[in-house]
Amino acid sequence: MPLDVAGAALGAAFGEGFTVLHNTVTDVVSKARMFKPILKRLASTLDRLVPTVDEIKRLSEQLELPERETKRLLEQMEEGAKLVSKCLKIRWWNYVFKVQYSSKLEELDKEILRFCQVDLNALCTRNGLRTLETVNSINKKMDSFRGVETPRGSGGVSGPQDLTVGLDMSIKELKALLLKEEVKLLLLTAPGGCGKTTLVKMLCQDKEIKGIFKENILFVNVSKTPNVKVIVQILLSRKGLQPKFEIQSDEDAIEQLQQLLEDIGSDPILLILDDVWPGSESLPEKFGFKIPNYKIMVTSRTAFPRFKFRYNLNPLNNNDAMTLFRHSASLQDGCSNIPEEDIKKIVKGCGGLPLALKVIGSSLCGRSEEEWHCRLTKWSGGQFFCSSDTELLGQLQKSLEFQDDKVIKDCFMDLGSFPEDQRIHAAALIDMWAELYELDEDGILAIANLRELTTRNLANLVMARKDASEVKSYYNEDFVTQHDILRELAMHESSQEPIEQRARLIMNISENKLPKWWTEQKQQLINARLLSISTDELFSSSWCNIQASKVEVLVLNFQTKNYTLPKFVEKMDELKVLIVANYGFFHAEISNIQLLGSLLNLKRIRLEKVSISSLCKTHVPLKSLKKISLFMCNIGKAFENCTIQVSNALPNLIEISIDYCIDLVELPIGLCDIFHLRKLSITNCHKLAALPEGIGKLVNLEVLRFRSCTDLSELPESIRGLSKLRILDISDCLNISKLPKHIGELCNLKVLNMKGCLSLRNPLPDSTIDLGQLMLVVCDKERAKLWEPIKEFLTELKVEVAEIDINLNWLPI
């Protein structure tokens, strides 16, 4: 059969098959309630393709449709029409068929779009867009494939098709940033589903923006696997142009785009690259031609560090979230009988994420009050918002494609181990990851992972004070926050395996409602490496027994005034890290601490907001323990009321961190006998007034911090014996008026932080000139003057004046 005849026949058959499928979907979508979301999407796809199919039939001879590809699509459409008809016969309780049919419908929708967006696009380009009429029609078709109506001269971008709320201020701020003369490349970033593309479409319809850039706004979707040649071909076609020569390489494509932009002349040009993924962040640089009045805007889920100018789009506030949800659920008329309290709970659960509000709202649209209540009951019973709809889950999971970097994904999922709406202390994560993933002891790699998660908008690392980075490896005041939906996503991803096969087991217990598997008479063996148990203020500490001998990290979060360590802890033979955190308002008494004596592999203990009478109530030394962290604890005589000496109970301890422990008045003398101690950090303990002379016995000490101990008036002369000391931090010790006379004997001291030592006005001791290894001193302007005479002798010394940093990030909540 000749090509033109074959093309015509295939075009006609394609149009007929499409019509049958389109009519069937249109008829069934309002009847098959089980499949309504996906059928609505399929119907929307087909609706947008109607003009395109008519064009295919008209130009089938010119396009030379490939017989094999078209026949395959025809067969799928015929099967799809039959499949859609069968949807009416599936009963609501038949979950297996629902999953099976939903999967097939999803595949059909993707295959239709793939054919039109990829195969047909390539064929059109190959045939050279033979006439201007063909060019213009294909231009319209390509935009319709992407769900965008393209007004002539707009460069392929139109306004959003759905209700938009809460973006007015963002448009003003984004526009103001974009129009700054120095901004040539601007990144718009936010987590997936926050409305980046919607915002940029609204920006392009702004009167001022349209007045400046006129018809020179070029918009193209980049996606995960960008093809430079295809991107340029799309941009050329949207300007009604043909390639000046055949595009055979990326270099050819870039040259053609540059020529197009230069031909525009001196008029301002805005190129929008939508949805740029990690690995493609160099693409804007390839298009960064030196053309006057030329700007590039990039949207991405990833906050690429290489972009100097960046705008972060935040989730919606509660009022705007409520408006969007009511619209999506068709509740805006105020006539609904759905209880207002239920609506508020759902909106709160969506966390201001527009995608979640739209998808969840649409899924509940038209549902009865009983169905709403049922959905809420499931969510309150532990089912995740993010997994309640396949579209929402699928969109969120795209953010977790880490290019085979399993540790980063594991770190993301570990964040689900901590309670909702609470800060996660960076120091706690450093402890966990040092043992789980063998990251460095100082936490530098752990912080790098947190920065990567922040860059990908999957978490937010807050550096509490700007000067924290000036003294290396100090992260005690830094913390992480995370959007509730992303926390749910982390927990969902961690719960895909059966309980006995999970790498991390995260349990949230409300009141005393223990999981069914836990209360069964037949115990279930837990093989997880990380176990997290969170309980509320109504929990009675009535634990059931479990077998969790392989757990390496145990996180216990609670809110009660009294807390008893579970009896099963003493059988956790592989436990290396124990984190016990109280999120209640008052300090909590903790008991059963003696159970720790049986944990021969325990290396790190972190206690938060608890009262401790003694840390050494056991006759068995904790020989493996390397680090103890006490945050906001009442420690009283914790290091003195011991059955054996601290140095014998903790013979191999190398690090102690005490932060915000307000009842610490004097450093326990027993700590000075821990021979192997390398790091001692006592920070924000405002009542600490004195240090024992015995501190000089800590001859292996390398790091010593008394940061923000405001009542501390002096350092004992005995610190001259700390010959291995590398870092000394006395920043914000307001009452220290002088440095020790023999400070020069700290022969290995490299860093001294004395920022905020306002009482220190006397000249530095003469021995200071003997600090031959001193490389960095951090201080304020007045204290910097004291170092001027010393710098003549210490030629390698850098005196850094700390910036005044006024913020409340460091305050605990």
Residue 580, CA atoms < 13 Å, CB-side half-sphere? 26
What percent of the chain is predicted at pLDDT more than 90?
28
Greatest mean pLDDT among 133-147, 433-447, 496-510, 769-783: 769-783
Which contacts of 731-734 are long-range, i.e. CB under 8 A and separated by 24 or more positions?
A: 731/467, 731/471, 731/707, 731/755, 731/756, 731/757, 731/778, 732/707, 732/708, 732/756, 732/757, 733/706, 733/707, 733/708, 733/709, 733/757, 734/710, 734/758, 734/759
Q: What is the pLDDT of residue 152?
A: 37
Average pLDDT, integer, range 534-539: 88
Q: What is the pLDDT of residue 2?
A: 37
pLDDT at 398 > cutoff 80: no
The candidate with the shortest Cα–Cα distance to 565, out of 600, 610, 520, 525, is: 610
**For the chain, give me the number of helices (H) and strands (E)?**
26, 24
Residue 734, CA atoms < 13 Å, CB-side half-sphere? 8
Q: What is the pLDDT of residue 137?
A: 47
Cβ proximity of 483 and 375 under 8 Å: no
Structure confidence by residue, pLDDT tens digits, 703-745: 999 999 999 999 999 999 999 999 999 999 999 999 999 999 9
Instruction: Kindly report the average pLDDT of the chain as a whole number.
Output: 80
Structure confidence by residue, pLDDT tens digits, 18-44: 677 767 777 666 666 566 677 777 776
Q: What is the pLDDT of residue 468?
A: 42
Residue 511 vs residue 744, higher pLDDT? 744
Could you identify the residue written with the tokens 């291995």?
724
Strands 479-481 and 460-462: antiparallel
Q: What is the pLDDT of residue 151?
A: 35
346 bridge partner residues: none
pLDDT at 182 > cutoff 80: yes
pLDDT at 250 > cutoff 90: no
Task: Tell me the residue length of the chain.
Answer: 813
Average pLDDT, integer, range 751-759: 92
752 bridge partner residues: 728, 777
Instruction: Indicate the SS3 state at residue 461.
Output: strand
DSSP 671: G
**Distance (Å, whole) CA 222 – CA 211:** 26
Cβ proximity of 769 and 794 under 8 Å: yes
221 bridge partner residues: 274
Q: How many other C-beta atoms are found inside a 10 Å radius of the C-beta of residue 97? A: 15
Query: Tokens for 200?
Result: 């940029």
Q: What is the pLDDT of residue 593?
A: 84
Structure confidence by residue, pLDDT tens digits, 255-295: 888 888 888 878 899 999 998 888 888 888 888 888 888 99
pTM of the model: 0.69
Query: Tokens for 246?
Result: 């055949």
Q: What is the pLDDT of residue 12?
A: 55
DSSP string, 339-401: -HHHHHHHHHHHTT-HHHHHHHHHHHTT--HHHHHHHHHHHHTT--GGGSSHHHHHHHHGGG-
Q: What is the pLDDT of residue 52?
A: 61
Cβ proximity of 136 and 240 under 8 Å: yes
